[in-house]
Structure 1
Amino acid sequence: HGHLAVFKHTHHHGFALGDWLIQQRRKARAGLLSAHALQELTLLDPWWNPPWPFAWQRKYHQHRTLHAAGQPLPPELQRWARKQSILWHQLHPHQQALLCTIEIRPEAPSWQGTLPGA
């Protein structure tokens, strides 16, 4: 599917891929993953082990998949996308770059009250 943001219970050809990837992420964070394994996983998906919460990464891929297919977004993903635009400046720069690829941008500031001198 072009990414390794699979759910924990994902199996691929009988292999517990989701559980295995969770173990690899833990090893990588602990510095216990071999350089070769790290390189191979990164070649498959540069963001297989992002520095932000992995739940965010799954939502991003769900949105990206539907966006690319021109399918409507379920309300949950619409809310997620809106939240990203509101919290834009709290996101990692790489998260911002990923969001731009699916046309999510920072929310334009709204002016409250009156302009000075008006």
Structure 2
Amino acid sequence: MTVQHGRLTPDKHTRQDGFSLGTWLSRQRRNARAGALSATTAAALASLDPWWNPPWPYPWHRTWQQYRTTISGNEPVPDTLQRWARAQRRQWSTLHPAQQHLLTHTGITGRDRSVRQTGG
């Protein structure tokens, strides 16, 4: 998944080579939150994607990945992602510092009021 997409943030219905990868990763995140994930598995997943299990809600992280992928591909940013980006600017002070850091790499900051229309 990371080789193909550069991340471990698949939808829960994602299958990779016939394996229910999305469901398995969701289960690993639940196990990690419960303190029931082996250190070996956690380290292996972190080596593939340091943000495989972020401390903020997973849907936020998936949307950030979609936004990042869209702008890095120089594609037009869909209205839904533009609205999401505006919401991140409005909510900047409530975001985790690491979320703010990730957003700055996509051009979103708490001070910037513009929304990227394209990845260019």
TM-score normalised to structure 2 length: 0.88
> What is the aligned counterpart of 2:105 among 91, 101, 107?
101
Output the CA distance in 2 between the equivalents of 1:108 and 1:66: 19
Output the CA distance in 1 between the equivalents of 2:112 and 2:59: 26
Which residue of structure 1 aligns with residue 16 of structure 2?
A: 12
The answer to whether the Cα contact below 8 Å between 1:86 and 1:107 also exists between their aligned partners in 2 is no
Instruction: Report the count of equivalent residues.
Output: 109
Question: Within the alignment, does 1:58 sit opposite 2:80 as a pair?
Answer: no
Find runs of 4+ consecutive structure 1 residues off by over 6 angstroms: none
Output the CA distance in 1 between the equivalents of 2:28 and 2:59: 16
Which blocks of at least 5 consecutive residues in structure 2 are unaligned?
114-120
Per-residue Cα deviation, 1:55-80 (whole angstroms, up to 9, x for no partner): 00000000000110111110000000
Output the CA distance in 2 between the equivalents of 1:108 and 1:19: 37
Per-residue Cα deviation, 1:5-44 (whole angstroms, up to 9, x for no partner): 1101000000000000010001111111111100010011
Q: Pairwise mapping of residues 26-41 of structure 1 onto structure 2 (< 5 A)?
A: 26-41=30-45
SS at match of 2:47: helix
Q: Which has the larger radius of gyration?
A: 1
Question: Within the alignment, does 1:88 sit opposite 2:88 as a pair?
Answer: no
Question: Within the alignment, does 1:75 sit opposite 2:79 as a pair?
Answer: yes
Which blocks of at least 5 consecutive residues in structure 1 are unaligned?
110-118
Using CA pairs under 8 Å that are at least 6 residues apart, name the structure with larger relative contact order, 1 or 2. Answer: 2
Deviation of residue 108 (structure 1)? 5.7
Deviation of residue 107 (structure 1)? 3.5
Output the CA distance in 1 between the equivalents of 2:112 and 2:64: 21
The answer to whether the Cα contact below 8 Å between 1:41 and 1:48 also exists between their aligned partners in 2 is yes
TM-score normalised to structure 1 length: 0.89
